[in-house]
Chain A
Amino acid sequence: MRQFAVIGLGQFGSSVALALAEKGCDVLAIDSDQDRVDEISEQVSQSVTVDAADEKALKSLGMKDIDVAIVSTGEDIEASISIVLILKEIGVKEIIAKAVTPIHGTILKKVGADRVVFPERDMGERIAESLASPNVMDYSEISDTHSIVELVAPKKFWTKQLSDLKLEDTKVSIVAIKRKVPVITAEGETEFREEINIKPSPEDKINRSDILIMIGSFEGIQKVRGIQ
């Protein structure tokens, strides 16, 4: 099983550590704040209170066997750069670091981070997308030119088969359909069950309660979003 270390247990770090632990992964959680460590200690395999920017202290933790280290001390820019450097020196196989600015991200890459994430920026973009267009349920850029988007099925699509949508010009593919199916619970209450149809066939019809998961270029997705 892969071993993870999460350094910095702020909102982002503790969310990552808890999500990994929930998936059954071995997680070593590290922070210099005792309260933050205490908060998470029962849910992760191991937790330590230590200043990770202190080279000696971090090396004493025996991080050699760690497969992936997530450095989420983003706000403390200097500390995050030092930690990445130390982890690289220790020989941690993969280092993922959280950055707060593009320059910070560039430095982290230069000192050895294999991947740099910008959670605040990404979340900001997602929120802006969903606010600008309420029919966008989720949005994520997968490259500089393409994104994946969850879009409430436009009215024009309702009851139509996928093959009738004529999306070829937009070069957008519907890769999955999320559908809310109405049900009645044992208590007699109305509810809905969410079903997901991965790789829908051209004959599949679109329902009013569908959310289309689409992949395509920014321009293509923009065109589909313009359809009412």
Chain B
Amino acid sequence: MNGDNSQGLEKKQAQRKKDIDTIIEVGKFYFLNQKFDEAIAEYKKAIALDSKSIDAYYNLGITLEAISDQDGARDAFAKVLELDPANKGAQEHYDRLVED
């Protein structure tokens, strides 16, 4: 019985991860098409589902930096570094934004 429950939970978690990945991919699609507001909305949707999504914060940071929202981008990269201190890309962006 317990086995069934944990299997069900794992399945649910896997599905949730898949949903978040799909949302982030949609965000990337919007970003590449220079639809920045739509991209931001998608990444925020992903963050609402998983407040520890490094990918969502990272992509949000890139998009905000692209539209010169320095403060917003800095906060997003800071969040990535809080979740993954060794994230080289986020560190580079964060350092550049702090220097600016």
**A interface residues (Cβ-Cβ under 8 A, vs B):** 134-135, 137, 152, 180, 182-184, 189-192, 207-209, 211
**B interface residues (Cβ-Cβ under 8 A, vs A):** 28, 31-34, 36, 58-59, 62-63, 65-68, 70-71, 89, 100
Q: Is the CB of A207 within 8 A of B34?
A: yes
Q: Which DSSP category, helix, strand, loop or mixed, fits chain A's interface?
A: strand
B66's partner among A135, A137, A184, A192 (CB-CB below 8 A) is A192
A222 to chain B, nearest CB (A): 20
A209's partner among B32, B33, B36, B89 (CB-CB below 8 A) is B36
B67's partner among A190, A191, A209 (CB-CB below 8 A) is A209
Q: Pull 27 A–B residue pairs with CB atoms less than 8 Å apart, ordered by A.
A: A134-B70, A134-B71, A135-B68, A137-B68, A137-B100, A152-B67, A152-B68, A180-B65, A180-B67, A180-B68, A182-B31, A182-B32, A182-B33, A182-B66, A183-B32, A184-B28, A189-B89, A190-B31, A190-B62, A190-B63, A191-B62, A192-B62, A192-B66, A207-B34, A208-B34, A209-B34, A211-B68
Cα distance, A211 to B34, chains bound together (Å)? 15
CB neighbours (8 Å) of B34 from chain A are 182, 207-209
Nearest A residue to B59 via CB reads: A190
Cα distance, A180 to B68, chains bound together (Å)? 9
CB neighbours (8 Å) of A191 from chain B are 62
Q: Is the CB of A190 within 8 A of B28?
A: yes
CB neighbours (8 Å) of A211 from chain B are 68
Nearest A residue to B70 via CB reads: A134
Q: Report the 9 A-B pairs with minimum CB-CB distance, sorted nearest first.
A: A180-B66, A152-B68, A192-B66, A209-B66, A190-B62, A182-B32, A182-B31, A209-B67, A190-B59
